Chain A
Amino acid sequence: MAKPLTLFEKIWSAHEIHREDDGTSLLYVDRHFIHDGSRTAYNQLAKRGLGVRRPDLTFATPDHYVPTTSRAFEDVEGEDRKDMVASLTRNTRASGVTEFGLNDIRHGIVHVIGPEQGLSLPGMLILCGDSHTSTHGAVGALAFGIGASEVAHVLATQALWQRKPKTMRVVVEGKLGDGVSGKDLVLALIAQIGVNGATGHVIEYAGPAIEALSIEGRLTVCNMSIEAGARAGMVAPDETTFAYLRGKPHAPSGAEWDTAVARWRALRTDPGATFDREVRLDAGSIEPMVTWGNRPSEAIPVAAAIPDPAASDPAQRKLLGAALEYMDLRPGQRMTEVGVDYVFIGSCTNGRIEDLRAAAQVARGRRVAAGVKAIVVPGSGLVRQQAEREGLDRIFVEAGFEWRHSGCSMCLAVNGDTVPPGKRSASTSNRNFVGRQGPDARTHLVSPATAAATAVVGRFADHRSLTRQGG
């Protein structure tokens, strides 16, 4: 009998073009996404006089530097940002790559539009010059982030040199409680294994709680794999995946769809296949989470109190103390006593339709607390359109949230949407790093429902207590 293989191993070996004696593999790339940070890579190509080998497998969107208050190129802030955006259009046009530009309804954050367009499919090897490329693994693909030189390499050759990573299975048993989301699950996981808990590994998420997640939920979980250091995160494709992908613009159709689904069904880890590491998590014990520090692992239930660094090991103590100081918090303080200035709902972690529905459900009929600036930034033009069809935009606007256009916005804060120094933000994004949302900004990571509840209460709040009383 053939050796049982993991899902990862199946995809990896199907993409190996060549292997060097030391085990380094040259892999074929099925899909390459690029964004408005691709100027460096294109400049590298130009210097060498090289073109794009497979423009038909490459797709582009300007997401990092674009304004979210309008769709006008003139509103891109400053000449340097304009050049980032304009160079993408110029380079993609010259090389024949499809760009979903600012005025295209299909515009959006690269990791939102890949799955949404059916460009990210099971079994594919997907790359993008962005660490959150791990997101696309949610549809059963192997997807990971690369640097600018590797982007240039993939553009020129459609291939990439890689050392085979190790494998790790995260089994999530049981069932998530009502109102507990994929975001809470992945924050709880990172709190358990640490920010380098999965370094050098590709994670396969499995177990009943993962199977029960929607594709949106799985995208959120895979998105944050990188925050545990993982090379990639993936979920075996199943009926939920097929139902999500069916009819998507770039997904196969007709007879090709049936052939594809038959092939995709084999993309499962064989019984008896082994992983280098295995981690278990009980979904039933997970609460809505919030981070208090400057690493995504510094996450606690919203209702909990901030832990005392003195109780942790000496190697961590100094860092935790520095995080408390940066965040202007003290041990023992309850998160529900901490007030916020900004609320950001969006990003490639939580800018999809299901996320906006969850936030709108909490915001409905309520008002953003005085002194809080709250913005909702859909992950794509199509997410925005769908939300407007469902009337979510009205719910947000009536509650006092700003309703924006798609883009990365306050997640990385390089388009001009920043949190001012010393201000505190509840954000549905993925990084609470020092200075991430602007110099000296204080970022707390939460789910969309928690963000909405926090916006209306003005302090971190368990959204379940709001929806339970208020209905």
Chain B
Amino acid sequence: MGKFETLVATAAPMEARDINTDLIVPGRFLRRLREEGLGECLFRDLRFHEDGTPKPDFVLNRPPYRDAQILVANDNFACGSSREYAVYALYDYGIRCVIAPSFGDIFHNNCFKSGLLPVVLPEADVADLRAQAGTAQGKPFRVDLPSQTVTGPDGVARRFEIDAFRKKLLLAGQDEIAFTLSHGEKIAAFEAARAI
């Protein structure tokens, strides 16, 4: 499990809602090995023409946003397919935090496994942060997990909610499987009681 504590970085705005995980990483890249890296496949068909040349209008191809580590997205970000490669593609590109009014449920769960922080904030706040990201010319945002706040260039700290369990694992960079195996007796007792 990846670790997350605080992040001070450029934020890229992404206006469109309902960005699905097929758009984040198209199906044809799912047979790559995880170790090969997925960064270059991120938003492949939105980011590049068929011949591999960049589409100049796409946000991550524009100067202040190329090195963005935060994405300020819109409603229902990463809906659709369960492919964890969507998380790997964002992570390998360098994105460490995505802010949106809502996420696809499976993607939201997947994020924590790699230490990518999904931040849910009310629609109006996200719209405001998106606008700030659009005009900030790369001025950094600060995402602070211990205090559960996002601070844009306007200096206003906005508090977000996160499950205590997930926060604990993220801050510690604790491996979830190892943690669960420490509950091994409970699992065995459950199996015995139900005769599974």
Contacts and interface: CB of A to CB of B under 8 A. Distances in A.
- A and B form one complex: yes
Contacts of A315: 17
B153 interface: no
Contacts of A65: 31
B180 interface: yes
Interface in B61-104: 75-76, 79-85, 87, 102, 104
A319 B85 CA distance: 25
Interface stretch (B4-12, B106-114, B130-138, B142-150): B106-114
B27 A414 contact: yes
A147 B84 contact: yes
Contact of B106 (A131, A158, A431): A131
Interface extent on A, as a size class? 35 or more
B102 A196 contact: yes
A102 interface: no
B26 interface: yes
How many chain B residues sit at the interface, stated as a range, is 35 or more
B166 interface: yes
A433 B175 CA distance: 34
Interface stretch (A148-156, A239-247, A378-386): A148-156
Interface string A284-297: 00000000000100
Contacts of A129: 82
A43 interface: yes
A161 B82 contact: no
Interface in B13-46: 15-18, 20, 22-23, 26-28, 30-34, 45
Contacts of A50: 177
Contacts of B184: 157
Interface in A399-446: 412-414, 421, 431, 433-436, 439
A50 B1 CA distance: 16
Contacts of A161: 165, 176, 180
A156 B102 CA distance: 30
A24 B165 contact: yes
A229 interface: yes
Given A319-B18, A414-B31, A130 B191 contact: no
Given A24-B166, A159-B180, A199 B50 contact: no
Given A26-B186, A149-B113, A159-B180, A20 B165 contact: yes
A28 B190 contact: yes
B22 A433 contact: yes
Contact of A84 (B18, B31, B84): B31
Contacts of A30: 196
B17 A147 contact: no
B31 A80 contact: yes
Contacts of B31: 65, 80-81, 83-84, 414
18 contacts: A17-B187, A17-B190, A21-B164, A22-B165, A24-B163, A26-B183, A81-B31, A131-B81, A147-B84, A147-B87, A147-B113, A148-B85, A153-B180, A156-B181, A159-B183, A161-B176, A163-B163, A436-B22
Q: List the 3 shortest-distance A-B pairs measured between CB atoms, nearest first.
A: A149-B113, A147-B110, A22-B164
Given A17-B183, A153-B177, 9 more contacts: A57-B196, A80-B32, A81-B31, A147-B84, A147-B87, A152-B177, A153-B180, A161-B176, A433-B80
